[in-house]
Amino acid sequence: MIKRLFVKNKFFSHLLTLPIILSLVGLLFIFEASAVRSASEFGDSFHYLRLQIIWLTAGLVIMTFFAVFDYHKLYYFAFIMMMTTIMFLIVVLIPGVGSKAGGARRWIDFGFFNIQPTELAKFSVIIYLSSWFIHKERKRFFSFLILIGFLILLIILQPDMGTAIIVFLLSIIIYYLSGGSLLHLFLLVPVSFGAFFLLIKVSPYRLNRLLAFFNPALDPLGITYHINQILISLSNGGILGQGFGASRQKYLFLPEAHTDSIFAILGEEFGFLGGCILIILYLVLIYKMYHVVRLAPDRYGKLLAGGIFAFFNLQIIINLAGVVNLFPLTGVPLPFLSYGGSNLLISFAMIGILMSIEKNVKVIK
């Protein structure tokens, strides 16, 4: 019995400490990557670091709340959360309300803070679909498609292809975990690919992104500039890196250095070895999440944990694959490392839910 409790507490500590360690590493590299840009834009090298510390503090509070909150009660808030998400996704498209940056309208400015509705959409989809699929219902597939199709349409209109892909895949994974028909999913594959290529064809920007993925040398000063600067960062790092603080790409050469491309700065300063250590930390965290899924005490907990497990896997894989040019760049942040309050808060909220589920596990096998 004592051994079982020890194993359980050790597991619980890993689930808690790894996100904190990753976030603290993120703070270092956010400052590293943003200091020059922050000084030029705001006259303050610590601007982005200060904001991220505030978001990290808020994230820890939210994580604590969800960790002590009975996850079963999320069922009663699922519909409200989904309706709120849909409302925000509509509101952000209204000119003058949604903040526009880089050609996309993705943020709602509340004055003292911004909210990114697409991050809330990832969270709401997990909670809502897990609550909906507790009970097996006949003929629910088409209702499921209508809901997910509507959400993806609102996200595409921003536009945010990366989040649309994540929301779609999250939905499919939760549907599968709930025992949904495999035939339905197989029938959905050609439709999904058709819609994907249609979206690329009607948007020159998306088509250029795809061409840049296949040929980074296509337009080095234009559409392929971003990926080329990332690859320069990683190649500069070599095996052991240039050393902490020695990155040259952070001097306004690398776009989004403190957000989506932060792994490139880490790779430049700590090399292949540093990148591998970071990936190992993520793998350990994912492994601990897998155990929560496997040992979840009930169907609702298993669906929630499965959705959260899929969320972190998708975010990590899509970001890292994009950075090393195994996947087109999509603007998906790296959990706990990339700058951004909305994603950090949602990530810690999900960790808190996993901790709540883990508390209900009677025995660790």
Structure tokens at 261: 């491309």
Q: E strands of 5-159, at which residues?
A: 98-101, 104-109, 114-115
Residues 14-30: tens digit of each pLDDT: 788 899 999 999 999 89
139 pLDDT higher than 70: no
* Residue 11: per-residue pLDDT: 43
Residue 101 sits at φ, ψ, to 5 deg, of -150, 135
Share of the chain above pLDDT 70, in %: 88
pLDDT in tens, 34-86: 888 888 888 888 888 999 999 999 999 999 999 999 999 999 999 999 999 99
pLDDT tens digits, 224-236: 788 888 888 888 8
Whole-angstrom distance, CA of residue 179 vs CA of residue 136 = 8
* DSSP one-letter code for 139: T
pLDDT value at residue 328: 82
Whole-prediction pTM:
0.89
Residue 183 has a CB neighbour count (10 Å cut-off) of: 9
- Percentage of the chain beyond pLDDT 90 is 38
Q: How far apart are CA 343 and CA 197, in angstroms?
A: 28
The arithmetic mean of pLDDT across residues 281-297, rounded, is: 93
Under the banding of pLDDT at 50, 70 and 90, the label for residue 141 is confident
Q: How far apart are CA 93 and CA 109, in angstroms?
A: 12
Q: For 211, how many CA atoms within 13 A lie in the half-sphere containing its CB?
A: 16
Planar angle of CA 205, 334, 355, nearest 5 degrees: 135
Quick one: angle between helices 262-295 and 341-359, nearest 10? 20
Residue 80 tokens read as 């409200």
**pLDDT tens string 74-130:** 999 999 999 999 999 998 888 766 666 655 666 776 666 677 888 899 999 999 999
Q: How far apart are CA 359 and CA 206, in angstroms?
A: 44
